[in-house]
Structure 1
């Protein structure tokens, strides 16, 4: 299903996007050395409830997971890259943490993810990988607009990741959002320009470049959810929800301090 939102729906989408952006920034600031992943989940639950919103994860039960997910945020550490199930783990200095949050408010979903290093140990290779996913995300956003095709976005993202030297997995990528979290069209993190669905104003997309340092192969944890690099290498993941407008693409999950 591909949803095209009305102008009224888009206003609600902007509110949901601002909510997710603010929550992620707060959770990032609280995630310091010694913070437990279960505390991050507890904080996310509290903020979502206080905002009168709904988690997209608690009852999430797709075919590829051992559902329902049962938590309010994905917390992926070091070699974990997607669907990280929060568990009893205290963050260490130098850990690479990805927080991925999807929330529904007033019937519209926004989805965003951020990767960062915890503490004051900043491994250069990890910083470079995070930066590559952020550059790829910006390239994908720049390629989006009315009349462009999904392949244009995928090509822009994949070009940045490939030029940075990272293998690209195509099992999981970006996706449409709207009244539900995961919708068509699928947005692969590499592809051919000029191919695929033609973008229209009112379409919401969650673009999410993610990479693993030296492999494109994923393995699944015993928890049935957490996806890790097959080699144990570190990973990074950046994501924004965008709205296709008459003039281009508007980022709905941009933190306030990063807004133009």
Structure 2
């Protein structure tokens, strides 16, 4: 991992390059039987997130999907062993951490890597949405953006920008194969950047909930959307006016399963 933090001016400050070994958070949490507080309203686990706290009271968050659904598992660790990755020419010896750490292997800026974690809490996103099963046709003509419950803006048109195409095997955890068609869209983080700026607080504690017109929803950490080092971006996919499942969809390129691919996106909430 190439560790980099934000300095006082919000610029990147390189710390060092390391190899970490430890315990996968996926392995720790996978077998736990969770009692969701909102299970009667929404049964799936995809609106759940994990809050980790250290001895100093610092907190960081991961979405359940980030831990349990990625194409590449076991990239989020409680690390208890570390070694330097030493450049062959300069022989730079980066300072070695002396405590256990949370390691988020897919993060570009590593503000989530807090030391000495002591507490793990699993929570459901605290926003309620009306669930309408089998809504057809399902269309949302706009996306309303919220920050801590306060309106931050509206997306009504598919923005101009450089589109990305991902070839994929679109496979759900429950229903299996959906399609093998590619998805083309804009990076979600570019669309949301004005409403949700990158900051240390957002990188560490920001948790987002994206909901559909029918009340389906999923949680995403701010960092997994805005702060990736693996180029497996979340896309905002536009559809034709009036198309079932439109006007906007989310494609999670980093996920093995398709469960967090939200159709007819109607609201995006950022909370802590």
TM-score tier, shorter chain, comes to under 0.3
Which structure has the larger Rg? 2
Q: Which has the higher contact order (CA 8 A, sep 6+)?
A: 1
Normalising by structure 1, report the TM-score: 0.24
Normalising by structure 2, report the TM-score: 0.23
